[in-house]
Amino acid sequence: MMNLAYNIAYRGKKWKNIMKPTDIYILRDLENAQSVSDVIKEKGFHLEHRILNLEVIESNRFISRMLKVPLASRVLHLRKLRVVEGVPKSIDRTYILYEKVKGIEDADFAHESFYKIIRDRFGYMTHKSEEEILIVEASEEEQRLLDCRDKELMMIRGTTYKEEPEPFEYFEIVSVSDFYRFRSVSKQ
């Protein structure tokens, strides 16, 4: 396994681990769905979520189509900034039919993963995810939040499913391009 920390002398006596922002990444295995927060914690990184939006909204045409719900359905919209080792890495948006998670808005999304909260509170576990990976033009707000000057960012968007045929959640993750590395294994 690659050593991600760089040791440097600190005042001649102590050693301190310093990480370059590009050393903070996670491997996303396309064969297995796993919570990004869980992967980050498994790697021993310090994780912080800064809640940008937590609201119940009416679904627009796009969100209604993605969740396969009627237009203007009540939907929970959670938007958070994912900060790893003090470095902003992604902006995550989640949309889920509110009636499935009623009362969840009082949860501590700053310290717990969304998937852990829905599992603990409602017993929900997702079993399938359909995703696409895109390169998108960065907005000024995304550049400011991610503290980057990149003109293009990576977007992962998709739907998760429990056991029923309709989508459980629609999500969008906009991240700096070096945060995710992907792996897929082909079998013949």
For 132-165, the pLDDT digits (tens) are: 999 999 999 999 999 999 999 999 999 999 877 8
Domains recognised in the chain with CATH numbers? 20-181 (3.40.1410.10)
- DSSP states along 115-162: HHHHHHHH-----EEEEEEEEEEPPHHHHHHHT---SEEEEEEEEEE-
pLDDT, averaged in runs of 10, over the chain (188 residues): 30 43 70 74 88 97 97 98 95 97 92 89 89 95 96 95 88 93 79
Residue 2 confidence (pLDDT): 31
Residue 28 confidence (pLDDT): 72
Question: How far lies 132's CA from each of 32, 155, 156, in Å?
Answer: 15, 8, 6
Residue 3 confidence (pLDDT): 29
Residue 160 confidence (pLDDT): 92
